[in-house]
Amino acid sequence: DAGVTQSPTHLIKTRGQQVTLRCSPKSGHDTVSWYQQALGQGPQFIFQYYEEEERQRGNFPDRFSGHQFPNYSSELNVNALLLGDSALYLCASDGYQETQYFGPGTRLLVL
């Protein structure tokens, strides 16, 4: 049973560029959430997708956008990258009893 997968594992971009991160949820899960984890901090909720729609959103600017595909996989897009966007981006899918299962993350470095 495959868990949550994410790609790429690492990424280096420069300020002002755009980036797309990808996630496939755990088998049988239909809801995907994205989190940003800055160095030395806990993960912060960005947004959640269900039935190809954004269902909830955290306190992140519109530069952060997403998409969910019919096979439940998801993308996170970040436009006009800032140095402060450097972080580990985690994808999670929803399981039983309000439990979220996390992927290994994509480490983004913005120079």
Partner 1 sequence: GNSVTQMEGPVTLSEEAFLTINCTYTATGYPSLFWYVQYPGEGLQLLLKATKADDKGSNKGFEATYRKETTSFHLEKGSVQVSDSAVYFCALSDRGAGGFKTIFGAGTRLFVKA
**Which residue number, 24 or 31, has a Cβ lying nearer to partner 1?**
31
- How far, in Å, CA of 12 to CA of 58, rounded? 25
Size of site (CB under 8 A) for partner 1: 28
From 14-22, 53-61, 65-73, 79-87, span contacting partner 1 (CB under 8 A): 53-61
**Which residue number, 14 or 55, has a Cβ lying nearer to partner 1?**
55
Q: Which two tokens stand for residue 1?
A: 């049973």
61-to-46, 70, 77, 85 alpha-carbon distances in Å: 9, 26, 12, 11
From 15-23, 54-62, 66-74, 77-85, span contacting partner 1 (CB under 8 A): 54-62
Contacts of 47 (CB under 8 A, 6+ apart): 33, 34, 54, 56, 57, 58, 60, 64, 66
Binding residues for partner 1, rule: CB under 8 A, are 6, 31, 33, 35, 40-45, 48, 50, 55-56, 58, 88, 90, 92, 94, 97-105
